[in-house]
Amino acid sequence: MVKIAPVLMAGGSGTRLWPVSRKRFPKQFAPLIGDETLFQASARRLSGASYAEPIVMTNADFRFIVAEQLDQIGIQPGAIVIEPSGRNTAPAVLAAALMVAETDPERLLLVAPSDHVIPDADAFARAVEQGIPAAQAGQIVTFGITPDRPETGYGYLELAGQGEGPQPLARFVEKPDAATAEAMLAQGNFLWNAGIFLFSARAMIDAFRTHAPEFIDPVQAALTEARNDLGFLRLARGPWDKLPDLSIDYAVMEKAGNLSAVRFSGRWSDLGGWDALWREELLQNPAADGVVTGPNATAIDCRDVLLRSDSEDVEVVGIGLSDLMVVATPDAVLVADKDRAQDVRLAVSALKQKRKKQAEAFPRDHRPWGWFETLALAARFQVKRIVVKPGAALSLQSHVHRAEHWIVVSGTARVTVDDKVTLVTENQSIYVPLGAVHRMENPGKVPMVLIEVQTGSYLGEDDIIRYEDVYSRDSSD
């Protein structure tokens, strides 16, 4: 049996699904459709008897989220690889190929984004099976989606043949205008480019040597100098940062002559905008009026709208609306015409220019030990709710500009302040003076919840000096 090595790309930011998807916690890790996250659904789809343990390419900010979400669905990763900086998909694909080639140059890799929706996993598995013989023969196989509309938001693949199974690929086509998309749909031999590839490690490395040789030495050096870090493989920053920022399409695919494409006619979406999510929700739960609402939304006399709130404390109500998208989170609300879904990224750019924290960060900040959220913030004080997982511990640290007062409201905390260790239980509190070396741990078997009151001249998250950390973070991580 062929054991394919899945490679999940999990480092993107997903700005077109703002405000639910942000740089600090992007769409692949959110349960946008159903109870599982897009990342978990992708990992499950590429698991089973035909697959080896997955290689996940991600960045330092997401490494613990990746590990936790895989553990939640019972999938053991083959490797979680930390890219030191974003360099697009070309270096990541080459790094995965070089890793696999160390033990088996003929092993097949299946590279896939981790934020796509493919409801029929069995149909997708059959499409992959169709591509295996071509990939074993040295072809780079790409998977194209049979289009059902003249979409201008996707790139296209033009097939040179019309038969079943892998067909020669004539060319890649950039995102077209509406008229060109209409013509390609009518022609019948154009597919949406899904960015999913099947190939042997040797074939991909050879393709880079031929078409993008400048990638080989830096990526190999980043791997050779990589270090294991709490079960993660952290690529070396020096050589990695010298790499071009280039997609695998531009670096290799559009130049290679050994390309084949397999047609996939099942349902697929990259959830590249709120209009895509609206469309996908209607396919799963048809509504004659085209209204899609979540549990915290109410529509009255509306048509063709998406109303969504990701907060139980924020109820979205639409009256007499049509062709609109309204998406609310605890700290931001998006209202946009459905035809402007691709322009949501412009909102993120505008918020960055205004230095608004909503551009990239959520009120709830996920950390390897749990999470925290700000409940109140003023010039010289901040109130937070902090949740610490069972057995987890914050770093041994101190602050230059602030003191802290901790009140435990659920569970038990083991608190170190300088040379004193104290157990703090529900309804008890403890004071951490400015400059004191301190640590908070949860020794129990249930989540520990506390309220933190900070006071001082500066309350930023970068006011931290770490002395010890079980998660190997520095002050900027």
CA distance 405 to 135: 60
> What is the rounded CA–CA span in Å between residue 107 and residue 100?
7
80 has which bridge partners? 56
Spatial separation of the C-alpha atoms in residues 338 and 199, rounded to whole Å: 38
CB 325 within 8 A of CB 316: no
CATH for 364-468, options being 3.40.50.2300, 3.10.20.520, 2.60.120.10, 2.60.40.420: 2.60.120.10
In the block, residue with structure tokens 């770093």: 395
Are 82 and 229 spatial neighbours (Cβ–Cβ below 8 Å)? yes
What are the DSSP calls for 25-61, one per residue?
Answer: B-GGGS-SSSSS-HHHHHHHHT-STTB-PPEEEEEGG
Nearest to 114 by CA among 46, 23, 42: 42
- CB–CB of 111/196 below 8 Å? yes
Tell me the average pLDDT across 80-93. 96
Judged by DSSP in three states, 250 sits in: helix
Q: Which of 193, 189, 161 is nearest to 175 (CA)?
A: 193
In 10 A of CB 286, how many CB atoms?
Answer: 8
Q: Which residues pair with 409 in a beta bridge?
A: none
Distance CA 76, CA 13 (A): 24
The arithmetic mean of pLDDT across residues 303-307, rounded, is: 98
pLDDT value of residue 476: 46
Task: List pLDDT tens digits, range 325-334.
Answer: 999 999 999 9
Do 469 and 439 touch, CB atoms closer than 8 A?
no
Residue at 368: amino acid letter: P
Model confidence pLDDT, tens digit, residues 336-364: 999 999 999 999 999 999 999 999 999 88
Mean of the per-residue pLDDT values for the chain? 94
Q: 249 pLDDT exceeds 80? A: yes
Phi, psi of 162 (to 5 degrees): -125, 5
Element (H, E) at 248: helix 248-248
Res 474: pLDDT: 62
pLDDT digits (tens, 9 = 90+) for 210-225: 999 999 999 999 999 9
CA distance 278 to 338: 9
Q: Give dist(CA 109, CA 52) in Å, integer.
A: 10
Residue 441 has pLDDT above 60, yes or no: yes
The CATH architecture annotation of domain 5-264 reads Alpha-Beta Complex (3.90)
User: What's the pLDDT at 313?
Assistant: 93
Note the pLDDT of residue 24.
87
In this structure, are strands 465-468 and 413-417 parallel, antiparallel, or unpaired? unpaired
Quick one: which of 477, 459, 475 has its CA closest to 467?
Answer: 475
Look up residue 143 and give its two tokens.
């998977």
Q: Which helix (H) or strand (E) holds 431?
A: strand 429-432
Amino acid identity, position 299: A
Question: Does 158 score more than 50 pLDDT?
Answer: yes
**Spacing of C-alpha 423 from chain mean position:** 37
Model-level pTM? 0.90
Res 430 pLDDT > 50:
yes
pLDDT at 14: 77
Q: Note the pLDDT of residue 395.
A: 94
Q: For residue 128, what pLDDT band results from cuts at 50, 70 and 90?
A: very high
Closest by Cα among 362, 405, 415, 346 to 381 = 405
The answer on pLDDT for 475 being more than 80 is no
The pLDDT value recorded for residue 13 is 78
Residue 355 in contact with residue 346, Cβ under 8 Å?
Answer: no
In the chain the first and final C-alpha atoms are separated, in Å, by 42
User: Domain ranges in the chain?
Assistant: 5-264, 274-353, 364-468
DSSP conformation letters of 202-219? HHHHHHHHHH-GGGHHHH
CA dihedral (88, 92, 97, 98) positive or negative: positive
Instruction: Assess contact for 194 and 264: CB atoms under 8 A.
Output: yes
Peptide bond into 19 cis (omega under 30): yes
Cβ atoms of 372 and 387 closer than 8 Å: yes
Residues 218, 159: contact at Cβ < 8 Å? no
